[in-house]
Amino acid sequence: MSNQDTARDVRRHGSIRLGYQMPNFTYGQPVSELFPTVVTQAREAEAAGFDTVFVMDHFYQLPGLGAPEDPMLESYTALSGIAASTERIQLSALVTGNTYRNPALLAKTVTTLDLVSAGRAILGIGAGWFELEHKSYGFEFGTFTERFERLDEALQIIHPMLRGEHATFDGKWYHTDNAMNEPRLRDDLPIMLGGAGEKKTFALAAKYADHLNIICNASELPRKIAALHERCAEVGRDPKTLETSYLCFLMIDEDGDRARKAQQDFLGNIGIDLAAMSEEERAQSVADRQFVGNPDDVVEQLQTRVLDQGIDGVIVNMVTNGHEPGAVELAGRTLAPLFA
C-alpha cells in the first residue's frame, strides 16, 4: 500500500489535501478592489477542487515576498468575510501567531468563525517569528525558547476549550479560571500546527494537533518525516493519525516557459540569479520550495518531491499570479486529481 493510500484510509472531516494560501495582497489595484479580489480567488479555489483556503496571520508583509508597508489584512476578519462569500471550502490562518493572541480569546475566535462558516474552520497556529511586527505593534517577542513555552501553554488551554471542556490553567505565561467556550457547532474542530522545528514544533503537533503543515525546503522532507515519526513514538501516537501537508510556491502556466520566466523574475526581485546557481545551491535556497512549469511539470514535481516522500497533502501559494483570473482554476484542475 502506498503512502497516499494509507493517508486516504485515515481521512476525516477537516482533512487538508489541497490548500490554497494567499500570502500577497499587492495586486496593483485600488484598496477598494483588494478584498473583492481576495474573495474571487477563494471562490475560484472552491470551484476548482481546493478543500481549504488560507490567509497569513501577519501585520506586515514578509521578507522575500515584499516590503513591510505592502498591504496585509487581519486574518480572522478576512476569513469571516471569505466565509460569507463561499459555501464549502474550509478556512484557516496559516498560521495564527500565538504571541499576539490570547489563547482563550483565540479559541473563542476560531469557534465563532466555525459557527459563521457552518463548520468550516480549522485552527492553524504557530509560535510566531517575525520580530519587526511584534516590536512595531507592542507585542512581547521574547526568546525562541519562551515563544515555544508560550505555545505549549496556549495549546493546553485551547485544546480543551475547542472540545467543550472548561479550561483552568495556571502557567508561567497564561492563566484561565474555568474558561468556557459557547456556543460551538462541534467538539472536534481541527488543530493544525505549522512550522519546521523537528524537536519543539513536531513534539507539540504529536501531542495536540490533527494536522501538521511542514514549512521547509523540499529536499529536507525525508528528514522531517523521520523526525515526526520519532516525536510521535515518544508520546505513543500512531503517526498515521497525524495528517501532514507541505507549503510550497506554485508557478504554473499552460506555457511552461512563461512559468519559468515568472520564477526567474520573482527570484531576481529578491536578488537571486537562478541561472548562476549550482544544483546544490538551488537545493539550499528558496527555489527548492518552488514548483514550476506547465501542468504536467508541476504534477510530476509534486508527486516525486513531496507526495512520494510520505506527505499527505500540499498547500500552494501563487504569489506571482494567483490574483489573475483563471490562474487558481488552472492550479486546481491540475492538482485535484492527485488527491481524488
pLDDT per position as a tens digit, 133-179 = 999 999 999 999 999 999 999 999 999 999 999 999 999 999 999 99
CATH fold group of domain 3-339? TIM Barrel (3.20.20)
Q: What is the chain's pLDDT, residue by residue, as a tens digit (340 residues)?
A: 343 443 333 345 679 999 999 999 999 999 999 999 999 999 999 999 999 999 999 999 999 999 999 999 999 999 999 999 999 999 999 999 999 999 999 999 999 999 999 999 999 999 999 999 999 999 999 999 999 999 999 999 999 999 999 999 999 999 999 999 999 999 999 999 999 999 999 999 999 999 999 999 999 999 999 999 999 999 999 999 999 999 999 999 999 999 999 999 999 988 999 889 888 888 889 999 999 999 999 999 999 999 999 999 999 999 999 999 999 999 999 999 999 8
SS3 track for 112-149: HHHHHCCCCECEEEECCCCHHHHHHHCCCCCCHHHHHH
C-alpha distance across the termini of the chain, in Å: 16
Alpha helices in the chain (DSSP H): 3-9, 34-48, 75-85, 103-116, 131-137, 144-162, 200-208, 221-234, 256-269, 279-283, 295-305, 327-335
> Which cell numbers hold the place of 282?
538551488
Alpha helices in 24-137 (DSSP H): 34-48, 75-85, 103-116, 131-137
Q: What integer pLDDT is reported at residue 282 of this predicted model?
A: 85
